[in-house]
Structure 1
Amino acid sequence: MIGVGEIEAAAELIAGHVVRTPTVPSPGLSDLLGVPVTVKLEMLQRTGSFKARGATAKLLGLGEAERAAGVVAVSGGNHAIAVAVMAAALDVKATVVMPRSAPARAVEIAESAGAAVRLADTVDAAFALMERLQGEGMTVVHPFDDPDVIAGQGTVGLELAEDAGELTDVLVSIGGGGLISGVAAALRARRPGVRVWGVETEGAETMSAALAAQGPVPVALSSIVSTLSPPAVSQLTYEHVSALVNEVLVVSDAEAVQGVLDLAEHAKAWTEPAAGCLLPAARRVLDRVGDGARLGLVLCGANAAPATVTAQAAHFGLH
């Protein structure tokens, strides 16, 4: 289990390389939900998502031989962008493997940052190619199954604990579970009374499936939210979530896209469906915990093109 000491060390390590993103009250969301809401604006992070934190923590910990051999990462979008951009900033050669379903914009950004981009037909094939390149000598910068990466992502929780007012409940999106593992570890140490809730989308319920099976299991992916769609969580993230997180909630793709529109209108914040899913989940949390709640939402990223979200909204008949 990752402890707060490792997260504090990661915070010191990456401090000169990433942004301490704003943690601010949201009057618009407070009015919408009827309780005080604080937002952690990770979409203002370098590379447009929290992923820069874990990638930087991992890259700064490499030895000389590892730096020379280069790194490889697999990603549906945000992790690829983070590894590509931060590796370039730290003068490390990077290859990123992405499924063909990844957003075209994410591929373009990774390539323009100087990374070698390899496309695979499926998410499973992308992970297999990453493992092959690892066998050829590259160091894997895993999107979530790595203690250094989780400690880096946990700095989000450390900042939230230090910068937010009183909170009763914090909501965090789950893909592979690296962000919520680190955030929950930080909050359990710094604000032990706060409840932590995970959020997934239907068709990307990898953590929910792991909790039901008491360990990671592969899941058939069908969610449009590619950034929340690993083939399975890891044993490491499963153990953190099962020990530290109150519950994992599942919302539909349509609700996640509506959440993007609502966050834009009410919070004045542009996000992606991986963050939009928090808003419908927040309503369910309020149904569970009742009056007196003070919510914290980790708005994890914003690497969705407006045209893409507009098309998704039209597909679901949203306005």
Structure 2
Amino acid sequence: MVDITDIEAAAERIAGHVLRTPTVPSPGLSALLGVPVTAKLELLQRGGSFKVRGAASKLLAMTDAERAAGVVAVSGGNHAIGVAVMAGALGVAATVVMPKSAPARAAAAARRAGADVRLTEDMASAFALMDQLQLDGLTLLHPFADPVVLAGQGTVGLEFGQDAGELTDVLVSIGGGALISGVAVALHAQRPGIRVWGVETEGAQAMTDALAAGGPVTTTLTSSVSTLCAPTVSQLTYDHVSTVVEEVLLVSDSDAMQGTLDLADHAKVWAEPAAGCLLPAARRVLDRIGPDARLGLVVCGGNIATADVLRTSGTPS
């Protein structure tokens, strides 16, 4: 298990390489949900998501030989961008493997940052190619099965705990689970008694399935929220979530898309559906715990085009 000292060490390691993103009260979301809401705006991070934190943490912890070999990563979108941005900044060759279903703008952003982008038919074959490229000699930079990456993502929670006012409950979306694992560890260390809730979309429910099975299992991916579509979680993230997270909530793709539009209307931020899914989940949390809640939302990324959301949500563009 990663602990707060690991996250604090990651924060020192990546300082100067990533942004300390804003933590702000949201009057619009507070009015919408009926309780005070504070948002951690990780969509304003370099590369448009929190992913550069874990990438920087891992790249800076590698040996010279590991960096010289070049790195390989697999991604549904944001990890590819994060690895490409940080590898480019540090002069490390990066190969990122992505399914064809990943947003085209994410693949283009990774290429612009200097990465060699390999596209595969689906996420399962993307992970398989990643494994093969690692066997061929590239250094693996895994999105969620590495404690150094997890500690880097946990710096989001470290900053949130330091910068926010009163919080009772924090919601974090889950793909492979490194972000929520690190955030929960950091917040619990700083604010004992706080509750951290995970959110997945139906058809991208690798953590929900793992919790039901008692460990990581392979999940059939059908969600349109590609940045949450990990085919399985890792033992590392399962161990953290099963220990330090209150519960994982499932929401529909359509509710996640509507959440993105609600974030634009009420919070005045353009976030991807991987963050939009937090709003329908927040309403369910409030139904359980009542009106005395003080909510925190980790707005994890903003790498989606307006046309993509409008088309998927059925809204005329």
- TM-score (norm. length: structure 2): 0.99
Q: Which residue of 2 aligns with 1:281?
A: 281
Is the 1:258–1:318 contact (alpha carbons within 8 Å) kept by the matching residues of 2? no
Is the 1:49–1:78 contact (alpha carbons within 8 Å) kept by the matching residues of 2? yes
Q: Post-superposition shift, 1:274?
A: 0.1
Take 1:291 and 1:272, find their aligned partners in 2: how far apart are those partners?
A: 27
Q: Which residue of 2 aligns with 1:68?
A: 68
Q: After superposition, where does 1:159-178 map in structure 2 within 5 Å?
A: 159-178=159-178
- Residue 266 (1) aligns with residue 266 (2): yes
Deviations for 1:160-183, whole angstroms, at most 9, x for unmatched residues?
A: 000000100000000000000000
- Residue 48 (1) aligns with residue 48 (2): yes
Q: Which residue of 2 aligns with 1:97?
A: 97
Q: Post-superposition shift, 1:97?
A: 0.4
Take 1:215 and 1:35, find their aligned partners in 2: how far apart are those partners?
A: 35
Q: Post-superposition shift, 1:310?
A: 1.3
Alignment-mate amino acid for residue 124 of structure 1: A
Q: After superposition, where does 1:299-314 map in structure 2 within 5 Å?
A: 299-314=299-314
Q: Post-superposition shift, 1:137?
A: 1.1
Is the 2:74–2:96 contact (alpha carbons within 8 Å) kept by the matching residues of 1? yes
Q: Post-superposition shift, 1:15?
A: 0.9
Aligned length: 317
Alignment-mate amino acid for residue 219 of structure 1: T
Deviations for 1:58-93, whole angstroms, at most 9, x for unmatched residues?
A: 011111111110000000100000101110000001
Take 1:103 and 1:7, find their aligned partners in 2: how far apart are those partners?
A: 30
Q: Which residue of 1 aligns with 2:12?
A: 12
Q: Which residue of 1 aligns with 2:222?
A: 222
Q: Which residue of 1 aligns with 2:147?
A: 147
Take 1:162 and 1:114, find their aligned partners in 2: how far apart are those partners?
A: 34
Is the 2:34–2:291 contact (alpha carbons within 8 Å) kept by the matching residues of 1? no
Is the 2:173–2:199 contact (alpha carbons within 8 Å) kept by the matching residues of 1? yes
Q: Which residue of 1 aligns with 2:210?
A: 210
Q: Post-superposition shift, 1:50?
A: 0.3
Q: Which residue of 1 aligns with 2:231?
A: 231
Deviations for 1:80-133, whole angstroms, at most 9, x for unmatched residues?
A: 001011100000010000001111101111111111111111111100000001
Alignment-mate amino acid for residue 176 of structure 1: G
Is the 2:195–2:245 contact (alpha carbons within 8 Å) kept by the matching residues of 1? yes
Q: Which residue of 1 aligns with 2:27?
A: 27
Q: Post-superposition shift, 1:318?
A: 8.5
Is the partner of 2:125 in helix, strand or coil? Answer: helix
Is the 2:87–2:94 contact (alpha carbons within 8 Å) kept by the matching residues of 1? yes
Is the partner of 2:39 in helix, strand or coil? Answer: strand
Take 1:82 and 1:156, find their aligned partners in 2: how far apart are those partners?
A: 15
- Residue 138 (1) aligns with residue 138 (2): yes
Is the 1:206–1:232 contact (alpha carbons within 8 Å) kept by the matching residues of 2? yes
Alignment-mate amino acid for residue 281 of structure 1: A
Q: Which residue of 2 aligns with 1:111?
A: 111
Take 1:290 and 1:101, find their aligned partners in 2: how far apart are those partners?
A: 39
Take 2:20 and 2:113, find their aligned partners in 1: how far apart are those partners?
A: 22
Is the 1:54–1:152 contact (alpha carbons within 8 Å) kept by the matching residues of 2? yes
Alignment-mate amino acid for residue 241 of structure 1: V
Take 1:53 and 1:179, find their aligned partners in 2: how far apart are those partners?
A: 10
Q: Which residue of 2 aligns with 1:196?
A: 196
- In the TM superposition, structure 1's runs of 4+ consecutive aligned residues that sit over 6 Å from their partners are none
How much identity, in percent, do the aligned residues show? 70
Is the 1:169–1:294 contact (alpha carbons within 8 Å) kept by the matching residues of 2? yes
Alignment-mate amino acid for residue 69 of structure 1: A
Alignment-mate amino acid for residue 308 of structure 1: D
- Residue 184 (1) aligns with residue 184 (2): yes
Is the 2:310–2:316 contact (alpha carbons within 8 Å) kept by the matching residues of 1? no
Consecutive unaligned residues in structure 2, runs of 5 or more? none
Is the partner of 1:20 in helix, strand or coil? Answer: coil
Is the partner of 2:196 in helix, strand or coil? Answer: strand
Deviations for 1:247-276, whole angstroms, at most 9, x for unmatched residues?
A: 000000000000000000000011000000
Take 1:25 and 1:291, find their aligned partners in 2: how far apart are those partners?
A: 17
